[in-house]
Amino acid sequence: MRSLKVLILEHNPFQLMALHQMFNAVGIYNVLTAPSLASAVCSLGHCGAVDIAICNPQLKGGDGIALIQHLAIGQQSRALILLGAVAPSVLDDLETLLHAHELKLLGRLQTPVSAVLMRGLLDNYLNALQQPDGA
């Protein structure tokens, strides 16, 4: 698989490890993991922007929404995958933010994450990159 840089924000250590291993299993090894907003922002500061960010926008404490805002406004990610159930009102607000800052929403995945569905989102992202117009 093409070399991608991924950032995962996940408070649950088991879920974070499972997601990291899922990426490694499909040949993506440049994976930044963060258990908190502060560590995610620090990783972005040290390692630069990512291709894909993954988080639950409804994490306790607002970390998920805050990270998405940081990514969008600072153009720190090209695409986003949302984890968990997302309230329709939150999704509407996010779609407006993402559209305004040209951050592509690849999809939403329920936890525990299906490796097959994750691979499908990654394949769609990579196929879009290969299109002549970058769509």
pLDDT in tens, 55-65: 999 888 899 99
Range of the domain at 77: 5-130
Does residue 21 form part of some domain? Answer: yes
Does residue 102 form part of some domain? Answer: yes
Written as six digits, the tokens of 50 are 């990512």
Does residue 80 form part of some domain? Answer: yes
Q: What is the mean pLDDT of residues 102-109?
A: 94
Does residue 18 form part of some domain? Answer: yes
Does residue 135 form part of some domain? Answer: no
Does residue 48 form part of some domain? Answer: yes
CA distances from 29 to 3, 104, 134 (A): 8, 22, 24
pTM: 0.92
CA distances from 48 to 42, 76, 113 (A): 10, 7, 26
- Number of structural domains found in the chain: 1
Does residue 83 form part of some domain? Answer: yes
Assign residue 43 the CATH number of its domain: 3.40.50.2300
CA distances from 27 to 1, 20, 23, 30, 119 (A): 6, 11, 6, 9, 11
Read off the pLDDT of residues 20-57 as tens digits, 9 standing for 90 and up. Answer: 999 999 889 999 999 999 999 999 999 999 999 999 99
